[in-house]
Amino acid sequence: MCHNLLKTLNQRVIPCYINKVMSSRQSSDFSKFRVALKSAKEIVILSGAGISAESGIPTFRGAGGLWRKYQASALATPGAFRESPSLVWEFYHYRREVAAKAKPNAGHFAIAKFEDNHGSQKKITVITQNVDGLHARAGTKRLIELHGNLYKTRCTKCKEVLVNNDSPICEALANRGAPDSNMVGSDIPVKLLPHCKKAHCGALLRPHIVWFGESLEHDILEAAEHAMSTCDACLVVGTSSVVYPAAMFAPQAASRGAIVAEFNIEPTPATPDFHFYFEGPCGTTLPQALAD
């Protein structure tokens, strides 16, 4: 009974409290936001899966976010790669092919245009949790990819990281990776998967992605933390603010006085901490917010 009462209070009281805080502290006024952005000297744009979803990139999060019968979190681990590198490579081959066919949307282009127009007067840094390369394809130059990139490989032995845009990345993966729920496992021999081409190495390659259970690269994290620690304005774009350490970036910036604006299709747990909230697709709200 107590559990049910607490659940009812959470459902009724907490959303009301959040709405009250949001209405008293926040603004959805594009004109006011543009004025605040104009005075900012260092700006960070922190993007997540939401902006890529508008380009047709699956998020693999929440209900229905499956590839075949697997959750991405079950495949995107060092353990899964050790157990079945062929299955993991099929999953990432599928993701590479989907991302290659996707196109940057109006949100990506709005960010790139803003950097192009104001990058000489302001320090503008895009920090993305996405691995699809769409920001770069849209024209963003000052880019920090927290979780790696689908089009980079890393040798499991010599650790060399290389860009690889081949489609397919190896012949054995041609026409493989379909998200068919009836398919289980992979029968591709490991020797036919991507391997290092160094003469004295030849070890198995893996996607250059930060998997669950792994730490972000030190230099990448340091660069992101430095940008967040000095910015006076931050745009949170299409991210649920639940994956750490990125989840703490914007709230920490807001707590030290930086102006923070969130662009999402729905509020997130961190929304009440921010000064501006713009609800809707990033491809619609960002062009309005970043217009000159």
Digit-coded pLDDT (tens) for 17-71: 333 333 345 789 999 999 999 999 999 999 999 999 999 998 876 555 789 989 8
Task: Flag whether 100 is marked binding.
Answer: no
CATH topology classification for 58-101+148-209: SIR2/SIRT2 'Small Domain' (3.30.1600)
- Which residues make Cβ contacts (< 8 Å) with residue 263, sequence separation at least 6? 107, 235, 236, 237, 238, 278, 280, 282, 285, 286, 289
Architecture of domain 1-56+104-147+216-292 in CATH?
A: 3-Layer(aba) Sandwich (3.40)
- Which residues make Cβ contacts (< 8 Å) with residue 203, sequence separation at least 6? 155, 156, 157, 158, 195, 196
Q: What's the distance, Cα to Cα, between the start and end of the chain in Å?
A: 56
Q: Is 218 a catalytic residue?
A: no
Instruction: Give, for all 292 residues of the chain, the pLDDT tens digit.
Output: 333 433 333 343 333 333 333 334 578 999 999 999 999 999 999 999 999 999 999 887 655 578 998 988 899 999 999 999 999 999 999 999 999 999 999 999 999 999 999 999 999 999 999 999 999 999 999 999 999 999 999 999 999 999 999 999 999 999 999 988 888 899 999 999 999 999 999 999 999 999 999 999 999 999 999 999 999 999 999 998 777 777 899 999 999 999 999 999 999 888 998 999 999 999 999 999 999 8
Catalytic residue of the set 147, 195, 208, 275: 147
Asked whether the beta carbons of 258 and 233 are under 8 A apart, the reply is: yes
Task: Flag whether 89 is marked binding.
Answer: no
- What are the backbone angles phi and psi of residue 158, rounded to the nearest 5°? -85, -10
Domain boundaries, the chain: 1-56+104-147+216-292, 58-101+148-209
Task: Flag whether 168 is marked binding.
Answer: no
Same fold, 1-56+104-147+216-292 and 58-101+148-209: no
